[in-house]
Amino acid sequence: MKNIMTILALVFAASTASADYTMVVPQKVGGGTSVWTTIVAAELEKHLGEKINIDHRPGARDIPGFDDWHNDLQYDDKTIMVSHGGNGVSFLIENVDYNYNEYRPIGMMNLDIIVAKRKDANVYADKILFSAGSGQTPEGFAIFMMQCGSDLTQECWENKVGWVKGMKGGEKRLAFKRGELNATRESPAAYKKHVGPDENAEVWFTHGIAGANGERLDDPEYPGFKFEDVYFKRWGKYPSGPVYDAYSLVRAFRDGLQKALWVSKDNPNADKIIAAMEAMVNDPVSMASINKTAGKYPWVVGDAAQAHTDAILNLVQEDALRDLVTIANEQMGLASVYKPELIK
């Protein structure tokens, strides 16, 4: 019996060691994060030396898939979580199971979001009609400030910002193309594919790239359109005050945690995965393949990814979080929860 148990243990260990890696994506096949993961996995497995499968787990606001990983799948040493910016917003203002404080970041692509407008729209005179959702919370704040300045007034919100609910990605893009919406937002890859080719569309502003010290940098793909700079051209001063502070907080969690890879803190394969990712980001061939679709944006890997994550988590201050939740609830109609446990 002892020999049989030993053999079974060896067989189990061998099968576990040879098992493929899996990346969990909290959305359906074909979504932006799904496409990004497919490209990254294909390049990463070349440097990891092992196959990477993709497990799509769609659900409301892309929360259930992340919760599944948090509650169960993270304990598989070869399962990696892929999150996106919408998960960052949900963590900040919704009740979710997952918690970025509890994981080890492998790496992340420091992306931007592009906000476009129709060329035939006089945005500062017209009411902005924009597709709403929790993932679009930073755009709601930014568009409001572009239209109304940094002081929140219900009258200006109602008269100048049309927060249109219920549209999915394809519906939103078609509505923008038809002129039913006069502003829209996309990831860099989706902008290039769906909006950029539209002769009636142009960049209005971007949120910029998160710098190592928390500053906002110009987007290398769309220089000159950073929100603060476009706001200055509109109002003759840079934004400040409670609305801007709330915007800066939700922007950091949405854009700063875009397209990120996570494992449990005690995952024994973490160093191996990080080494493979460092090799990938230093491989010109791999980067050319990824950049062709996702755009040429910076990566943070390993210790740099941990420092980046810690810097974002440490941004949560009481006043900004409370204002964010209040505005999201009262002006945007997004069911939001004040979570004082996040305050640093």
Q: Is 70:37 a contact under the CB 8 Å cutoff?
A: no
Read off the tokens for 83: 């999150």
Return the minimum-mean-pLDDT range out of 5-14, 49-58, 252-261.
5-14
What's 194's DSSP letter?
I
- Phi, psi torsion values for 326, nearest 5 degrees: -65, -50
Given a contact cutoff of 8 angstroms between Cβ atoms, the answer to whether 187 and 117 are in contact is no
Question: What type of residue is 210?
Answer: A
- Dihedral of CA atoms 248, 307, 111, 284 in degrees, nearest 10, equals 160
Chain mean pLDDT for the chain? 90
pLDDT digits (tens, 9 = 90+) for 286-302: 999 999 988 899 999 99
> What does pTM read for this prediction?
0.90
Angle, CA 110 vertex, CA 219 and CA 317 arms, to 5°: 100
Q: Is 162 left (phi over 0), alpha (psi -120 to 50) or beta?
A: beta
Residue 50 class from Cβ within 10 Å (0-12 exposed, 13-18 middle, 19+ buried)? middle
pLDDT one-digit tens code per residue, 300-339: 999 999 999 999 999 999 999 999 999 999 888 888 999 9
- Structural domains in the chain plus CATH codes: 19-110+258-313 (3.40.190.150), 114-251+317-336 (3.40.190)
> How does pLDDT run across 135-150, given as a tens digit for each residue?
788 998 999 999 999 8
Strand-strand pairing, 161-164 and 128-131: parallel
* In the predicted structure, residue 162 carries a pLDDT above the cut 70: yes
pLDDT in tens, 258-275: 899 999 999 999 999 999
Look at the alpha carbons of 58, 64, 66, 71 in this order and tell me if their dihedral is positive or negative.
negative
Residue 23 has pLDDT above 80, yes or no: yes
Instruction: Give the type of residue at 47.
Output: H
CA distances from 209 to 109, 147, 185, 216, 254 (A): 10, 23, 16, 5, 12
CB distance 26 to 59 below 8 Å: yes
